[in-house]
Chain A
Amino acid sequence: MNNKLHNTLYAGRMTQDGFTLTELVVAIGIMAVIILFAGSVFQTSVTSYRIATAQAEIMQKFRAITNQLDNDFRGLRKDAPMFIWFQLDTSDVNNRLDQIMFFADGDFQSTRTYDTSVNPIVPAVSGSPAVSNLARIYYGQAQSIDPRDNTIKYPSALRFIDRVLSRRQHLSIANPATGNSYAQFPLDTGGILTINPVQNDLFEHDTNSLSQWQAAALNGTNVDNIITGCFGNNCPRIDLTDANTLHLLMAQKVGNFSVQWSYLYTNAGQTYVYWWPSIDPANGGGTADSDFGPSGITLSQFGFHFNTAPSSFAASWFNDSYAGTMGRYYLTRPSFPQALKFTFTLYDSRGVFKDGQTFTHIVYLGD
């Protein structure tokens, strides 16, 4: 090797002062190799930086959602009804657009301020926030703007990345019988509740107490009205240009949101945890056994109602054929689930994860 080098150097000196072609080629080659190497390393680190940033963003969102879920479910009132709306995303059978509503105690404060001098009560710029120990809380995907044509669409019509997770809270406050009273919300006419969906989005209060909700949930008509008034196409409507809808925003770019409840079943002496409803309960890769399919409920949308009260209303589901007769079925399974499983797919704002990242979060409700 020394001889070779010596020869080369000697040869160069023999011909002329300067770089030989060989020298240049070798030098450029080395440089190219180094640059290529450095470039790829650079590329890798840029990519990993982008991934890390996107990951951090998703994790932040994940933590925000799960913390909020944990906080809300910590105060879950199991003596009150809980409603779940199950909806398949017809564009992708593995995606769901589920919605859940329940009651929780805690220290709740409204996002917006209320003006006490206005009747009916509406959120106002002046005034003070409403506070309460109890709230009706809703999670689900919202109607929001499609950036492709700047119109507000139902979540099922949005691309996954444009979907928005919403949290709606209604603080339970008393409705004074006299004086500066608030208009009733939900409207209670002779024990029959009706929920105005526009008010449901606008307001952060209920004038109904927990026990009034409990009593209302014993009545089938009321349950129908509650489910139709709050779920399905009456999911929250968020207009990011309208400050009066921002209190509904939980997280943007949440492509899939599903809720499943657990129950144990025993087969051949073995006890299994089963999450209902599932697309592929047997994990066999197919959807033939889907709880939404022919072997389960032959509907792509239905509401579900848990109540600890008299057994006939323990758990029932409702189809979404609003036009026809509201179908109601009863389950014989234990009424209140031990745990809920939330599955959601989160997307980062730069589109690093094309398919988003899917998380599951299990909330244990106790026994």
Chain B
Amino acid sequence: MAKHLPISFISVTDMTRKTIKNPKSEIRNPKFAAERRGSAIILAIVLTTLLALLGVLFLFSSRVDSVATSAVSDNENLKLAVDSVVTQISKVLTQDVPGVEPNGTYYDYPDPCNPWLACLEPYQSGIDYFWRQVSNIYGPFVQNIQAQIVPEYQPNIAPNIPADADGDGVSDSIWTLVPDISSSKGKHIYAAVRIVDNGGMLNVNTAYKFDPNTSVGTSQLDINLMTLAALDHTHTPDEAQNRLLSYRCGSDNANFYEPNVIWQYGLPDGAYTPFDISDELNLRYRYILNRSNVTRTVSRIETLWTNAFDGPPYVPRNTDTAGSNWAWVVNNSYPSLCPDANVYDNRHIATIYNMDRIINPSGSKMFNINTVPSVPDINTVRDKLREALDPNIYDANYIAVNLVDYLDADSNVTYFVDPYTSQHYWGFETPCIYISEIAYNFYQPATPEDANTYRSYAIELFKPYWEDDEPNGWYIETQDLDSDGNPFPPNITPVVWTGSRRFHVLANINTSAIIPIEINEPSETNIPEPNVPQFTPDINFGPGTTIVLRRDVKGSAVRMIVDTFAVPPAEGIGSWMEPNKSNSEYKSLERDIASKHKCIRRIVNPDITTPTLGHMNHIFNSGGDMIQAHPANKPFTNIGEIGQLFRTNAYGGSIGPSSTEASVRLDLAEPNLQNLFNYITVIDPYPTYTFDQNETRIKGRININTAPWPVLAQLPWLSYHTQSNYNLARSIVDRRDARGAFKNIGELMTDANSDINSMGHYIGKGGTVPEALLTPKDDTGDIFLERDLIFNRISNLITVRSDVFTAYILVRIGADGPQKRVIAILDRSGITPTAGGYTGKVKVIAVQPVPDPR
């Protein structure tokens, strides 16, 4: 429009000129014509100038506008890229939650099934270091990537070349193309991601110290933090301990730290000051940032243990001789800086935030077997156990009834009839009482005028455990033979336990055939009330008969058989029941009840001995084939205690001389059983610490699939027998490197050839265990109780999976464009599988841009 105006004005002028008909006038007055023409030009120029000015102004204003709405910057692109990567990580973490994907793995271990998870530490091969696996959140697993020095900014990257996600100067991941997105200018977006498991680190908010005299592994406080504190050589152990308490307990009462902090899922209940997210962020990238003025702006945890975290060795980025320093870091053997080969460099040793859940492979809450006594229906318990156990191998009904009687406080045998098979089940219950000795005297005077025979009989019962109730509703069933050798009907004699001692004698004594009864057992003088012998004419037995000890069963009309004693037949050893013609001579048959033996399978002494009624027997069997058992009648302290349960009937001769522990007990070394550990637990915030029955989160446990050995070594008892021998912790790492993930914690007990299995044999290998912790202390050989001891002690505090992870993320726009590093801490404990999906979301605890090294 503006351009056309002048032209049309000129054409009007032209037209005007043409209409002048008198040519003379042009000749006569040329000046006039020229002036008129000129004024039009001036007019045109003026107008054009004005319009040009207008145009310029117009341009100006639109330019201002365009500056104001400038294009999205690179920074925005990088932010979006980070968001995209975090979203993908959240997705991958969600899919990996047990029960969400049908083919997912329960455990978290860096292997092809968990391609997103990276190893915490590299392995050494020759002089080089390799990552067994690095994270890949977009594709299949990537393994055996060499840890090499890379510059802060790698020029011209391409997919699959090694990258340094955490910024310590060493490659620890690979570059991948972020699929489906590009920058606003159409460039590819690259990402390098390293996801590590916080569950493989010591939680400085929950761990405390290991005391061999008190730590039984029931609490996260038993995980030892003092080794880490000791790296700060400026404080004595006592000072270090007190400093830790003063830091995290604030002005509140340290005695209630556990319920008020460790078992709180929000803020602590009280003025406690546990370490917080600021400490976590510092710990997670502290080794990237060896700042010059560390004394000024370090986190609290680094102030607490200055040398533990901030001393050398440094990572490559901060020194000139990068390569050699990397070696210090990973092999911790640089002579001048790490004179002690066992001093670890602490790269990934501590966290303030880790968590896992007591959930089973389908994602629902594990069954807390300590609640079993209050479960009214054995069917329910049995069904819970069947989720994990092969019914062809394990009779879950027996385990269920034995479990109930092991846990409940009463002395009533649990009796259960399977509604489908009508089979009967009795639980193994206190009091434990066995027939320990039978004695006999048969005197027939040699003089023919006295044709009388004088017979005396005695039966000794033994209750090995002081703490057991006195028997109520127990009976001895004996049988004698008539002169033809046929049995009389059985005599049933109620056991009337009169004292508080462990021996009780039932006797039928004829004064002419005396059997001495000594009720003052010398080793039991501190027990006030001797059991008065129970004299009754009903006690008598004949050769070849069986003496039966029975007890009443609540809910059943039939008294169950507790123990039997076969009286030897008339021939052979039974000759002991032949009449003695010359004088009265008493004899007895004894079983092994040596003072510390509390075994349920009793070995009969083949030799006839002098009676020891009312006190200790002569026989002592020290063999390793003893089966020692006693229902604790209280909740499990650790889940590893499950190995104390019977898988069969523990009564009535079901456990015979040929039975082995493995055949009657739950053998933790049995792979078929170990799966059970993914389904049952005894560490549970409900009902002790929360009213929420569905709470599954447990802080501070250690994932044995990801923890480096220095972390594992801090579990109670794992490095107890000498503070500098970490073979047990190292062997766990060796085992998983060689054979893959632990699918459940029970697999720690599997490998017969490694040191792991020797956890139990540990005592025999030089470790000394305070007597108090082997409760009750006994002198039997390496039976399950001893074999499982260390595993039992750590079983509550270890896991094979985790819910909190740290992701180091490096994104870049284009092969040589701008890049950005962030660290993200992600908590997936809110994800719960549902039918066909899941609820909840991955909680981003922090997404923090990682500054350049400064």
Contacts and interface: CB of A to CB of B under 8 A. Distances in A.
Interface of A: 2, 5-6, 9, 13, 17, 27, 31, 34, 38, 41-42, 45-46, 48-49, 52-53, 55-56, 59-60, 74-75, 77, 79, 105-107, 109, 114, 116, 127-128, 130-134, 171-177, 179-180, 190-191, 209-212, 214-216, 218-219, 307-310
B848 A56 contact: no
Given A2-B19, A56-B64, A308-B267, A212 B292 contact: no
A46 B302 CA distance: 61
A209 B30 CA distance: 97
A191 B250 CA distance: 9
Contact of B61 (A41, A48, A134, A218): A48
Interface in B237-259: 243, 248, 250-252
A34 B278 contact: no
Given A17-B29, A211-B275, 14 more contacts: A2-B19, A34-B46, A41-B54, A42-B53, A49-B57, A49-B64, A79-B267, A133-B277, A134-B277, A174-B303, A212-B273, A214-B267, A215-B268, A308-B266
Contact of A56 (B53, B68, B298): B68
Contacts of B25: 13
Given A60-B68, A209-B300, A75 B50 contact: no
Contacts of A210: 276-278
B57 A173 contact: no
Interface string B40-54: 000100110011011
Interface of A is mostly: mixed
A235 to B, nearest CB: 26
B19 A5 contact: yes
Contacts of B272: 211, 215
Contacts of B850: 107
A209 B266 contact: no
Contact of B274 (A38, A107, A132, A211): A211
Contacts of B64: 49, 52-53, 55-56
User: 4 shortest A-B CB distances, which residue pairs?
Assistant: A45-B57, A134-B278, A215-B271, A210-B276
A133 B250 contact: no
A135 B819 CA distance: 25
Nearest to A57: B68
B53 to A, nearest CB: 7
Contacts of B321: none
A241 B849 CA distance: 34
Contacts of B739: none
Contacts, number: 162
B31 interface: yes
Interface in B271-307: 271-279, 281-282, 291-293, 295-300, 302-303
Nearest to A175: B303
Contacts of B848: 75, 105-107, 133
B127 interface: no
A116 B296 contact: yes
A5 B17 CA distance: 11
B250 A132 contact: no
16 contacts: A2-B19, A5-B19, A9-B16, A13-B32, A79-B266, A106-B849, A107-B848, A107-B849, A109-B851, A133-B278, A133-B848, A174-B299, A210-B277, A211-B275, A215-B272, A309-B267
Contacts of A211: 248, 250, 268, 272-276
Given A17-B31, A131-B297, A38 B273 contact: no
Nearest to A106: B848
Nearest to B285: A133
Interface string B298-323: 11101100000000000000000000
Contact of A105 (B51, B60, B281): B281
B553 interface: no
B190 to A, nearest CB: 22
B420 interface: no
Contacts of A31: 43
**Most B CB within 10 A of own CB, among A34, A45, A174:** A174
B277 A34 contact: no
Contacts of A41: 54
Nearest to B276: A210
Nearest to A181: B295
A46 B276 contact: no
A178 B590 CA distance: 71
A130 B297 contact: yes
Given A5-B19, A49-B64, A34 B270 contact: no
A239 B214 CA distance: 62
A130 B251 CA distance: 28
B1 interface: no
B266 A133 contact: no
Given A215-B251, A215-B272, A132 B54 contact: no
Given A75-B848, A107-B849, A131-B297, A34 B50 contact: yes
A132 B270 contact: no
B557 interface: no
Contact of A171 (B51, B67, B297): B297
Contacts of A6: 19-21
Nearest to B47: A34
A290 to B, nearest CB: 34
Contacts of A27: 39
Contact of B299 (A2, A133, A190): A133
B482 interface: no
Nearest to B264: A309
Contact of A59 (B68, B250, B295): B68
Contacts of A132: 278, 297
Contact of A5 (B16, B51, B68, B292): B16
Contacts of B67: 56
A48 B59 CA distance: 11
A56 B67 CA distance: 8
Nearest to A3: B19
A21 to B, nearest CB: 16
B145 interface: no
A114 B291 CA distance: 14
Contacts of A59: 68-69
A364 to B, nearest CB: 14
Contacts of B250: 191, 211-212, 215
A9 B846 contact: no
Contacts of A171: 297
A42 B53 CA distance: 8
